[in-house]
Amino acid sequence: MLVLYPFIYGFLTSISLSLLGVSLGELFTVFLPRVRTMVVVLYVGLFAMSFDFVSGYTGYLSFGHAMFYGIGAYFVVLVGTGKIPGLPAETPFMLIIVLAGVLAFLAALAVGAVSFRLTGVYFAMVTLGFAEVAHVFIRNWSYVGSNPRDGVGVVGRDGFAVGIPGIDALQFRLGRLAGDSFENVLGTGIDLGAAEVSFYAVGAVVLVCYFAMQRIIHSPFGRVMVAIRENEERAEAVGYNTFWYKLGAFGISGFFAAIGGALFAGYRRSVAPENTFDLFVTADALLAAIIGGFGTLAGALYGHLFHEFLQGIFTTESSGLARFLRDTLSEGILSAGVGEFTVLEFINVFIDGRAELYLGVIFVAFVLFVPRGILGSLRDRLGGPLAETIPERLRRYRR
Amino acid sequence: MSLLEVEDIHSYYGESHILQGISLEVEPGECVALIGRNGVGKTTTLRSILQLTPPREGTVRYRGEDVTGRPTHEVARMGVGWVPEERRMFSHLTVDENIRIATPPGNSVEAAFERAYSAFPELESHRGREAGDLSGGQQQMVAIARGLVGDNDLLLVDEPSEGLAPQIVAAVAEALKTVAEESTVLLVEQNFPLAMDVADRFYLLDHGTVVESGSTENVTRDDEMIRRYLSA
Amino acid sequence: MTGFELTATALPLFAPVEITLDALSKAALYIVIASGLSLIFGLMGVLNFAHGSLTMLGAYLGGAVMVALVSSATGQGMRLLLFFVAVAVVFAALTAFGAGVERVLIRPIYDREPLFQILLTFGLVLVLDEAATIVVQLAGLQPQTEWQDAIGTAPEFLAARYDIIGTSTRGLYLFEALVGLLVVTAIFLFLTRTRYGLYIRAGSEDPEMTQALGIDIRQAFTVVFGVGSGLAGLAGVMLMWDPRFGASVPLGVETLLVGFIVVIIGGLGSFKGTVVAGVLVGFVDAVMSWLFINYIDFPGLPELVMFLVLVTVLVARPQGLFGVEEVGGH
């Protein structure tokens, strides 16, 4: 489904049919995330999955996870601006990504080595502490740029490309402005804009990472991770040295978090402390993982899709619900209301740019009432991973 | 009417089925002992009576009133006192404060001190010390004193002699006898002679059920039934 | 590396006085910020991530009381008196709010893993911060920057600077130290002299035994969560006049992190530890701020060092300075 999204989106939003005087195409524009939003879903989704990989599967809440995302993102920009000795600005993006991952892997091992002596709240706190040290540092480190608090961007360098380095035909540059676009791909008559190219390129990397994490979780290593979450004492009693497993999981998680951050920076070409190392970036992963389903891996991506979906609806931009309602509803309806408080006022106060409020409320509701999240609850219902149970169900209905 | 009636209760820790249908009764003024090996459910029985581990099946009636599933503090306020295993001192509170907190609101704290320290004169000189700094025997006295000042008609006493030196056990036994004269006691005790000495009746537990009960008179360790269930 | 050059300045003779004055006011603020967090964790084992957001609400609410009641004609003494009115209003409002939150949202999840309590209170941060943003914007204010009108309601004799032994300090900072001392004394008396304080200290040690003595521990949870929230709000009222802080939405996260640092260094759940750690962190902050101003050109220095101290304490002595030796139990 996700693979065809750009086409589905393109088709639905261009429908010129009208229903009750409302254009269906416009309605879809309001309610469907744009393709470039889907790029965000992919890389933040990867970050959220990496968070779920360690926190959802071992039960250790990594409250400083933004640190690894930030390391990945800043590494890309620092290489891109020629500030990493030994790595020219034109270093292939694929190599930068891997190096960023390795760097975060090592950082995670270092943080984990001291943090995994603690559990529960204490573990969450110490990881948060490390991330805040990094956050404060990056906000004030003038080597990054003249105004480190505002972040830094890449100028001059070509777009960061996903693909096989050295073969130009198999390289696809990312970005809204610096990205590639193709007309009439392979003679099929299909045009791919910069957003679509970025969507597929980023999606390919995220998919590879997802499968890699999925493999690990279904390996014996992953089973020990789950055993740690269920009952760490028992896992130890059976003879596993849980410390090394936790450390390994944390390192791997850091690696993939950094790749998420690197894709973000490669696509956006700029970074700032508040969209990388900040506590609220960790919060995004947390929200996604809980809403999607803690300990389901893929759920985290869907959780963030939901996040962006809400944000897309409540955005103040032209594709948002607020603008749509203001344009669609008649003057009479807009000015109706009790005294000063009109429908228009209601739209402005409670709809225009208010996604975060509803997201917070939904998050609290999930914690209280749907602790297993969307995917987790579905799996409970159906009795197993969807990929396995849905074909089985369909077969049953067909008979 | 019995003061306490426990009827066929089943209690669990997580998924382990600890009490598998315990029934017992305690009449006003009695001292009843629960005996049996480690892990047969004696402590859990006391916890289930207090609703600290609420039974999933069966009923607990106190003064004829069904208290199953009620909050612990309500059962406690009805006059059920607990002198728990390992004494559970508030170790950072002073001896005085340990007594004070056990005194029901509205009762005179001075009267409570009077009662506690006349029962255990040894504690008087330690009133201002943190309870955690006391010896094991002194802590046991504080634990019993907490039960005494709480206006309790039924005291659930769990392993009072555990981990104490022999000469102190004797003192604790004396204290228990005094307490048993004033109020009704349900006693869990590993020390068989002590239990038989203090209690009027006993229930013998095994695997979460009552296997034997009767008067403590003329029961000796050599009794075949007792030996079978008490020896490891 | 750039950014770390030492700037050569002669060591000011009165540096210790200057640092101490700064440290005392910061210590007072940090203790008040952390005290509610400490009480709540001590009794209930819940690390309340929404604590900072409650402080933020307190700052705005206190500011609203002051801005509504103070006009340019209001006398200086009257303004001081109104400060205490604001304290009372905010404390009452947030205590009620906190008690409500405990009853409705937190009570249902006590028997779940502690993870969920963190998640829930963290969700509250998102909701409260966003709700505050909406209201503040409706009132025509800028949520990201300090509310200057509220800062402006401080009496002149607090806003002014005074010369003390060769250095100068704001009257407000001395006032904060004084209010902090009052608050600590009040909490201490509450804990040691009242029946409820006794319940709280006992419940922190052994909730089960406390219940078995006939004490309604759930009710105590509600009261403590309420009082803890009220204290968070009170901290906010103290901050609304302070030009270093001021009422703004980001104040929530800022004070939350400080609160975490203090309660963890002091030992989660130990009020004594919180007080000692508050003084310690106040001094660390003051010394580092002084070093930054005079020698080390790195604006994030105080914050950086505070977090480093936090991490060091967690790694070396996770139970904190005065915590109980049961590490990571929660």
CATH number of residue B101's parent domain: 3.40.50.300
β-strand pairing of A270-271 with C161-164: unpaired
Q: Which tokens sit at B160? A: 């009072």
Is residue C213 less than 8 Å (CB to CB) from chain B?
yes
Q: For residues C155 and C79, is the Cβ–Cβ distance under 8 A?
A: yes
**C292 pLDDT more than 70:** yes
Closest CA to B34 of B143, B153, B160, B145: B160
Mean predicted lDDT score pLDDT of chain B:
90
**pTM for the structure as a whole:** 0.88
| End-to-end Cα distance, chain C | 42
Closest CA to C242 of C179, C167, C148: C148
C159-180: average pLDDT: 88
pLDDT tens-digit readout, B132-173: 999 988 999 999 999 999 989 999 999 998 888 888 888 888
Nearest to C209 among B84, B100, B150 (CB): B84
Return all residues near B170 (Cβ < 8 A) that are at least 6 apart.
none
Phi-psi region at A60: left, alpha or beta (left = phi > 0; alpha = psi -120 to 50)? beta
Q: Which of A153-157, C97-101, C238-242 has the lowest mean pLDDT?
A: A153-157
Tens-digit pLDDT profile for residues A18-57: 666 667 777 777 778 888 888 999 999 999 999 999 999 9
Distance CA B202, CA B197 (A): 11
Q: What whole-number distance in Å separates Cα of residue B179 and Cα of residue B198? A: 10
> Is any Cβ of chain C less than 8 angstroms from the Cβ of A364?
yes
A136 touches chain C (CB under 8 A): yes
CB B122 within 8 A of CB B56: no
Cross-strand bridge partners of residue B203: B34, B213
ipTM confidence score: 0.91
Residue C211: its chain B contacts at CB < 8 A? 52, 71-73, 76
Rounded distance, CA A363 to CA A357, Å? Answer: 10
* pLDDT on residue C327: 38
Q: How far is A38 from chain C (nearest CA, A)?
A: 23
The CA-to-CA distance between both ends of chain B, in Å, stands at 37
Provide the token pair at B124.
Answer: 């008087």
List the Cα angle A144/A148/A152 in 5-degree steps: 65
Question: C209 exposed, middle or buried (CB, 10 Å; 0-12, 13-18, 19+)?
Answer: buried
A137 and C300 within 8 Å at the Cβ level: the answer is: yes
Least confident of B215-224, C196-205, C242-251: B215-224
Sheet with B65-66, strands from edge to edge, namely B16-26, B4-13, B57-62, B65-66
Q: Residue C323, SS3? A: coil
Buried b (16+ CB within 10 A) or exposed e, B9-22: bbbbeeeeebbeeb
Q: How far is CA A183 from CA A163, A186, A188, A196, in A?
A: 19, 9, 9, 12
CB contact A279 to C (< 8 Å):
yes
User: How many whole angstroms separate alpha carbon A238 and alpha carbon C115?
Assistant: 25
Residue C137's closest chain A neighbor by CA? A349
Neighbouring CB atoms inside 10 A of C94's CB total 28
Domains of chain A, with CATH numbers? Answer: 1-32 (no CATH), 36-313 (1.10.3470)
Q: Which band of pLDDT confidence, cut at 50, 70 and 90, is reported for residue C117?
A: confident
Q: Given pLDDT bands bounded at 50, 70 and 90, which one contains residue C74? A: confident
Contacts of A26 (CB under 8 A, 6+ apart): A13, A324, A328
Selection from B29, B35, B16 nearest residue B155 by Cα: B29
Q: Is the pLDDT of residue C1 over 50?
A: no
User: Under a CB-based contact definition with an 8 Å cutoff, are residues A228 and A59 in contact?
Assistant: yes
Which residue from C228, C180, C253, C187 is spatially nearest to C45, judged by alpha carbons? C228
Confidence of residue A180 (pLDDT cuts 50, 70, 90): confident
C222: which chain B residues are within 8 Å (Cβ-Cβ)?
none
Predicted confidence (pLDDT) at residue A386 exceeds the cutoff of 90: no
Q: Please give the pLDDT value at position C330.
A: 34
Q: In chain C, which among 120-159 make CB contacts under 8 A with chain A?
A: 120, 122-127, 130-131, 134, 138
Residue among A150, A358, A367 with most chain C CBs within 10 A, to mutate? A367
Residue count of chain C, please give it. Answer: 330
Count of domains forming chain B: 1
Q: How many helices (H) and strands (E) does chain C have?
A: 13, 2
The residue among C142 and B222 whose pLDDT is bigger is C142
A120 sits in the region (left: phi over 0; alpha: psi -120 to 50; else beta) called: left
Phi, psi torsion values for A159, nearest 5 degrees:
-60, 145
Q: Are C214 and B150 an interchain contact pair (Cβ–Cβ within 8 Å)?
A: yes
Host domain of residue B86:
4-230
Whole-number percent of chain B with pLDDT over 70: 98
> Chain B interface, mutation test: which of C208, C210, C213, C272, most B Cβ atoms within 10 Å?
C213
- Residue A142: in which H helix or E strand, if any? none
Q: Using a threshold of 3 CB pairs under 8 A, tell whether chains C and A touch.
A: yes
Nearest to A140 by CA among C305, C30, C22, C23: C305
pLDDT at residue A374 is higher than 50 = yes
Closest to B129 in 3D by CA, of B91, B86, B172, B100? B91
Nearest Cβ partner of B52 from C208, C215, C218?
C208
Give the lowest-confidence range in C66-70, C98-102, C296-300: C296-300
Residue A282 CB partners (closer than 8 Å, separation 6+): A51, A62, A63, A64, A65, A66, A128, A131
Nearest CA in chain A to C299: A140
Cross-chain Cβ contact C260/A123 below 8 Å:
no
A64-72 mean pLDDT: 97
Whether residue B92 and residue C201 make contact (CB cut-off 8 A), yes or no, is: yes
- Cβ-contact B23, B36 below 8 angstroms: no
Comparing C197 with C268, the larger pLDDT belongs to: C197
Alpha-carbon gap: C282 to the closest alpha carbon of chain A (Å): 18
In this predicted structure, the answer to whether residue C11 has a pLDDT above a threshold of 60 is no
Partnered with residue B10 across adjacent β-strands are B20, B57
In chain C, whose CA is at the least distance from the CA of B82?
C212
Residue C6 pLDDT: 46
Q: Quick one: which of C52, C54, C122, C134 has its CA closest to C94? A: C54
Whole-number pLDDT of residue A387:
66
* Residue A188, both tokens: 């099929």
Does residue A146 have a pLDDT over 60?
yes
pLDDT tens profile C173-221 = 999 999 999 999 999 999 999 988 999 999 989 999 999 999 999 999 9
| Residue C278 Cα, gap to closest chain A Cα (Å) | 17
What is the DSSP secondary structure assignment for residue A192, as one 8-state letter?
A: B
Q: Residue C7: pLDDT band by 50, 70, 90 thresholds?
A: very low
CA–CA gap between residue C92 and residue A13 (Å, rounded): 52
pLDDT at res. A104 = 97
Confidence of residue A396 (pLDDT cuts 50, 70, 90): low
224-283 in C: which are within 8 Å (CB) of A?
A: 253, 257, 260-261, 264, 268
Average of per-residue pLDDT values in chain A: 87
Q: C122 to chain A: which residues are within 8 Å by CB?
A: 283, 286
pLDDT exceeding 90 applies to what percent of chain B? Answer: 63
Give C207 to chain B, closest Cα distance, Å: 10
Helix (H) or strand (E) holding C168: strand C167-170
Give the model's confidence band at C4: pLDDT under 50 very low, under 70 low, under 90 confident, else very high: very low
How far is A24 from A12, CA to CA, in rounded Å? 8
* DSSP letter for each residue of chain B: --SEEEEEEEEEETTEEEEEEEEEEE-TT-EEEEE-STTSSHHHHHHHHTTSS--SEEEEEETTEE-TT--HHHHHHTTEEEE-TT----TTSBHHHHHHHHSPTTS-HHHHHHHHHHH-HHHHTTTTSBGGGS-HHHHHHHHHHHHHHTT-SEEEEE-TTTT--HHHHHHHHHHHHHHHHHSEEEEE-S-HHHHHHH-SEEEEEETTEEEEEEESTT--TT-HHHHHHH--
Residue C80 in contact with partner chain B when CB distance is under 8 A: no
pLDDT mean over C139-150: 91
pLDDT in tens, A225-234: 999 999 899 9
Gap between the Cα atoms of B218 and B200, Å rounded: 11
| pLDDT tens digit sequence for B101-110 | 999 998 999 9
CB atoms within 10 A of CB C73: 6
- How would residue C102 be classed by pLDDT, with cut points 50, 70 and 90? very high
State the pLDDT confidence band at C268, using cuts at 50, 70 and 90: confident
pLDDT, residue B72, reads 95
For A100-124, how does the pLDDT look when each residue is reduced to its tens digit (9 = 90+)? 999 999 999 999 999 998 888 889 9
Q: What confidence category does residue B194 fall into, taking pLDDT thresholds of 50, 70 and 90?
A: confident
Over the stretch A298-325, which tens digit does the pLDDT of each residue have?
A: 999 999 999 999 888 888 777 778 888 8
CA distance to C62, C72, C73, C180, C252, per residue, from C153 (Å): 11, 9, 11, 20, 21
- Asked if A129 lies within 8 A of C327 by C-beta distance, the reply is no
The DSSP 8-state label assigned to residue A171 in this structure reads E
Report angle CA B122, B123, B125 to the nearest 5 degrees: 90
CB B155 within 8 Å of CB B124:
no
* pLDDT computed for residue A178 by the predictor: 75
- Is residue A267 within 8 Å of A203, Cβ to Cβ? no
Buried b (16+ CB within 10 A) or exposed e, B100-126: bbbbbeeeeeeebbebbbebbeebeeb
| pLDDT for residue A21 | 64
> What's the pLDDT score for residue A397?
62
Contact with chain A for residue C10, Cβ under 8 A: no
* C65 membership: H or E segment, kind and range: helix C51-69
